[in-house]
Amino acid sequence: MTLEICHLYGNLMNTYGDNGNLLMLQYAAKSQNVKVNTTLVSLGDDFNADKYDIVFFGGGQDYEQSLVSKDIQTKKNELLKYIENDGVVIGICGGYQLLGHYYINASGQYLNGIGAIDFYSDSKSSTRLIGDITTYNQRFDITLYGYENHAGRTYLGKSVTPLGEIKEGYGNNGEDKTEGCMYKNTFCSYFHGPILVRNQALTKVIIDLALANMNRRQKYINA
């Protein structure tokens, strides 16, 4: 059986070692003797919700992110379907921001998200939130370690769970002690460093969820 990974806009959203998350997912799956196939889905490509077990969506530079914001609208319905059907998504930084309602970047440009999860982001303050960060995730009882460096501030809707509560560092906005978000099997974060390298416990949780989806998908194909 093959674990199908979608590297969403991987040739545009790939800053600051985010690629390490993808490499770690591939490595973790292979360590369990699972074959891995990675597909790059980018500008003008179709995203098929039934095809993948994990979607990895990394951070990017402002310019690339603005192009992705336009193109992702063409994939919006399939992505929403994938997320609602418990598909596993990892969204980092710019990828995270585009899963919400919108993001206003440092030059005041309004970027549409796909509104899969109830949050928005802006960058009203010119100071970047930089430094080491530690958070705690209650659902899986894991402490998460990372490095953050972002101008964007994210504000979660009332019913949205953060990925972690801040122990040290700034997190989503430097105010409300939240970092990232979690919705069904979608995990978002500002952590670089990369998050799935430094936090093996989280990687294990994610791989287990993805393998369960892979088995489910395979049964469906065979049925």
Partner 1 sequence: MNLKTKIARLAGRSSKYLLHRFTTGGSSLPGKLALAIDPNILTSLSKDYRTIIITGTNGKTVTTGLTVNILKQHYNHVLTNPTGANMQQGIVSTFLSDNKDTGSEEKFAVLEVDEASVKHITKYISPEIILVTNIFRDQMDRYGEIYTTYNLILEGVKKSPDTILMMNGDAPIFSTPDVPNERRYFGFQNNDKKTDILAHYNTDGIICPQCENILHYHMITYSNLGDFFCPHCGFSRPALSYTLTSIDELTTESSLFTIDGEQYNLQVAGQYNIYNALAAFSIAQYLDVPSKLIKTGVHSAKRIFGRQESLYINGNDVRINLIKNPVGFNQIIELIKLETEPYILITILNDRHADGQDISWIWDGNFEDIAADTLNRGAYVSGIRMQDLQTRMKVAGFNEEQLFSIKEPRDVLSLIRNSPAKKVYVLATYTGMLDLRKEMVEQGILKERMNI
Residue 131, Ramachandran bin (φ over 0: left; ψ between -120 and 50: alpha; else beta)? left
**Minimum CB distance to partner 1 smaller for 160 or for 197:** 197
Q: How far apart are CA 62 and CA 75, in angstroms?
A: 20
Q: Is 199 in the site for partner 1 (CB under 8 A)?
A: no
The residue from 4, 5, 10, 171 that contacts partner 1 (CB under 8 A) is 10
CB of 21 to partner 1, least distance (A): 8
Residues 92-111 that bind partner 1 (CB under 8 A): none
Min dist CB 12 to partner 1, Å, is 8
Catalytic, out of 93, 101, 150, 188: 93
Binding of residue 145 to partner 1 (CB under 8 A): no
Count of residues that bind partner 1 according to CB under 8 A: 30
Other Cβ atoms within 10 Å of 59 Cβ, number: 25
Concerning whether 101 is annotated as a catalytic residue, the answer is no
DSSP string spanning 192-203? BTTHHHH-HHHH
Token readout for 16 is 């600051």
Spell out the residues 6+ positions from residue 34 whose beta carbon is closer than 8 angstroms to its own. Answer: 1, 2, 3, 211, 214
Strand order in the sheet with 129-137: 142-150, 129-137, 164-168, 178-179
Q: Which residues are annotated as a binding site for substrate?
A: 128
Among 7, 101, 153, 217, the residue binding partner 1 under the rule CB under 8 A is 7
Write down the catalytic residue from 7, 101, 150, 192. 192
**Nearest one of 39, 118, 37, 106 to 66, comparing CA atoms:** 106
Distance in angstroms (rounded) separating the CA atoms of residues 152 and 125: 8
Between 150 and 217, whose beta carbon lies closer to partner 1? 150
Q: Is 63 in the site for partner 1 (CB under 8 A)?
A: yes
Give the residues lining the site for partner 1 (CB under 8 A): 7, 10-12, 14-20, 23-24, 27, 40, 42-44, 61-64, 67, 130, 147, 149, 192-194, 197
